[in-house]
Structure 1
Amino acid sequence: MQYSVLGSSGEKVSRVCLGSMTWGLQNSQIEANEQIEYALSQGVNFIDTAELYPVPPSGDKYGGTEIIIGNWLAQNPTRRKDLILTSKIAGPGLSYIRDGAKISGESVIAAVDASLKRLQTNYIDLFQLHWPNRMSPHFAKHWPGKVKFSSANSERESNSMLEILQALDSCVKAGKIRFCGLSDDTPWGINTYLKLSEQYALPRMVSIQNEFSLLHAKDWPYLIENCVRENVAYLPWSPLGGGMLSGKYANGAMPKGSRWTFEQRNGVFRNTELGHAAVAGYVDIAREHGLSPSQLALAWCDQLDGVTSTIIGATSMAQLKENIAAFELGLNADVMHKIGAVFKQYPLPF
């Protein structure tokens, strides 16, 4: 296993980050335990979760994934020190999480305390804002006109971000969290937080996790260059495009128990004609070179300059083993050239 430094935190994290959002819905406690044990045996030291999980989110399952991780930690207390454990506070919009309210200083402190209780730990290594209070161009809102930036009140947003940073600072000083980061944010979000941190001597955002894959590479090059130059770790989520890049949804297939068979909060927005055409091209390249489609997509993501650690997920041990093995593979110039040709044909297919 290879390791990278998590932005300005100085901590080394595995190039594979074990995602957990299926635990508590598609995966049981026993299955989650097995995934954790296998990942650790392969050198993975980075686990990502959120108060929102499992996904698709619901009021009756809210917090369930953290509880599962907490149960494992309670059974393995001496191994807590071996993990870089993350969690996230949900942004606005869900009625069963703080009445759908925006993130505030008060809610940051409450969310940290609640996550610590569910996780059965004294500290969270990396605590992240799951999505910003303002509308951001994520979850299929990246097309021109979907977000009206000119109507935003930048001063109000900046004041809200300062309040959030001050609350995070209090959590750091209390030893409840070690570092803080972002998710589903933009260069303006990154830079505003960094500016406020410097201006008011508050904790620095050390990372950002955004959706990134062969089907959705909108962060390249501008946001990723921003991360590299500002020493902010870039953590891709959904590197398989919600499972689409595995090829399992080709020709209208809908495997029983797969993610697309569950009701999606934002709909199955990746399910487009162009998306399937792109996947077919990548599947052909993978098969030609003796790789699984998933391994091709993950190895491509891992080798991209600026990527710190890629968040993977699996609903079976076979998938997990296949996915982790992808990070030991190198893609030669011929494979990269062929991938590039398909990418240029379908640069943003959903």
Structure 2
Amino acid sequence: MQYSILGSSGLNVSRVCLGSMTWGRQNNQQEANEQIDYALSRGVNFIDTAEMYAVPPTPGTYGTTETIIGHWLAANANKRADIILATKIAGNGLSWIRGGADITGQAITASVEASLARLQTDYIDVYQLHWPNRTSPHFGKHWPGRIQFSDVDTEAHIDQMLEILEALSQCMDAGKIRHFGLSDDTPWGIHQYCRLAEMHNLPKPVSIQNEFNLLHFKDWPYLIEHCVHSEVAYLPWSPLAGGALSGKYLNGAMPEGSRWTLSQRNGLFRQNAKTDAAIARFVEIAHEHNITPSQLALAWCNQVDGVTSTIIGATSLAQLTEDIDAFEIGLSEAAVVAITETLKEYPSPF
């Protein structure tokens, strides 16, 4: 396993980050335990979760994943120091989480306490804002005209950001969190948090996790350049495009129990003729180079300049093994050329 420094935090994290959003919906406690144990045996030391999980998010599954991780930590207290544990506070819009309200300083304080209780730990290594209070061009809203940036009250959002930073700083001073990160945000969001942190001597974000894969790479190059020069670690989520890049949904297939058989959310299942054509070509390239389509997609993410750690998710140990193996694969020049030509042919199908 290879490791990288997580932004300006000084934390040394594995290039593989174990995602957990299926735990509590598609996976039970025993299966989650097996995934954690196996990942640790392969050198993974970075686990990502969220108060909102499991997914698809529902009132009944809220907090379930953190609770499952908490049970594992309680049974393996001697391993807590070996893990970089990241979780997230949900943003606005979910009626069963703080009435769907914005993230505020008060919400940060209360949510940190609740996550600590569910996780059965004294501290969270990286506490992340799951999505910003303003509408951002994520979850399929990246096409021109989908949202109006000029409708945003800039100063009001900057004031909210400062209040959030002050609350995060208080949690850090109390030893409840070590660092904080962003998720589903933009270069403007990163810049404002870094600027406010410097102006007010407050903690700066050490990471951001955004959707990034062979079908959806809008963060390259501008946001990722910002991350590199601001010492903000870039963490791709959905590197397999919700499993689509495995090829398992081609030709209308819908494997039983797969993610796309669950309820649609936020327009993430963006299947169309162009995505299918791109995926079919990536499948061919993978087979030409004697690796699986999933491994091709993950190995590509891993070699993108500026990527610190890629968040993977699996519902079986077989999938988890295949995925972790991908990070030991160095793509050949011929494979990279073939991938690049396909990206040019299908520049943003997802």
TM-score range, shorter chain: over 0.9
Residue 317 of structure 2 aligns to which amino acid in structure 1?
A: M
Query: Could you say which residue in structure 2 is the equivalent of 1:206?
Result: 206
* Matched residues, number: 350
Query: Could you say which residue in structure 2 is the equivalent of 1:120?
Result: 120
Contact preservation (8 Å) 1:129, 1:182: yes
Q: Please tell me whether residue 59 in structure 1 is matched to residue 65 in structure 2.
A: no
Contact preservation (8 Å) 1:16, 1:46: yes
Unaligned segments of structure 2, at least 5 residues: none
1:293 and 1:318 map into 2 onto residues whose CA distance is 15
Query: Could you say which residue in structure 2 is the equivalent of 1:331?
Result: 331
Alignment RMSD, CA only? Answer: 0.6
* Offset, 1:151: 1.4
3-state SS, counterpart of residue 270 of structure 1: coil
Contact preservation (8 Å) 2:140, 2:268: no
Query: Could you say which residue in structure 2 is the equivalent of 1:248?
Result: 248
2:87 and 2:57 map into 1 onto residues whose CA distance is 15
1:260 and 1:228 map into 2 onto residues whose CA distance is 34
Q: Please tell me whether residue 189 in structure 1 is matched to residue 189 in structure 2.
A: yes
1:103-136 CA-partner distances (Å, limit 9, x unpaired): 0000001110000000000000000000000010
1:244 and 1:229 map into 2 onto residues whose CA distance is 32
* Offset, 1:268: 4.7
Query: Could you say which residue in structure 2 is the equivalent of 1:293?
Result: 293
Q: Please tell me whether residue 349 in structure 1 is matched to residue 343 in structure 2.
A: no
Query: Could you say which residue in structure 1 is the equivalent of 2:340?
Result: 340
1:27-176 equivalences in 2 (<5 Å):
27-176=27-176
Q: Please tell me whether residue 11 in structure 1 is matched to residue 11 in structure 2.
A: yes
1:61 and 1:241 map into 2 onto residues whose CA distance is 23
2:90 and 2:145 map into 1 onto residues whose CA distance is 25
Query: Could you say which residue in structure 2 is the equivalent of 1:22?
Result: 22
Task: Name the TM-score, length of structure 1 as normaliser.
Answer: 0.99
Query: Could you say which residue in structure 1 is the equivalent of 2:302?
Result: 302
1:152-177 CA-partner distances (Å, limit 9, x unpaired): 11111100000000000010000000
1:237-270 CA-partner distances (Å, limit 9, x unpaired): 0000010000000000000000000102224542
* Offset, 1:150: 1.1
Residue 118 of structure 1 aligns to which amino acid in structure 2?
A: R
3-state SS, counterpart of residue 325 of structure 1: helix
Residue 19 of structure 1 aligns to which amino acid in structure 2?
A: G
2:225 and 2:6 map into 1 onto residues whose CA distance is 16
* Offset, 1:73: 0.1
2:268 and 2:104 map into 1 onto residues whose CA distance is 30
1:5 and 1:22 map into 2 onto residues whose CA distance is 27
3-state SS, counterpart of residue 8 of structure 2: helix
1:217 and 1:78 map into 2 onto residues whose CA distance is 39
Contact preservation (8 Å) 1:172, 1:178: yes
Task: Name the TM-score, length of structure 2 as normaliser.
Answer: 0.99
Residue 15 of structure 1 aligns to which amino acid in structure 2?
A: R
1:130 and 1:77 map into 2 onto residues whose CA distance is 27
Residue 15 of structure 2 aligns to which amino acid in structure 1?
A: R
1:317-338 CA-partner distances (Å, limit 9, x unpaired): 0000000000000001100000
Contact preservation (8 Å) 2:260, 2:269: no
Contact preservation (8 Å) 1:240, 1:298: yes
Unaligned segments of structure 1, at least 5 residues: none
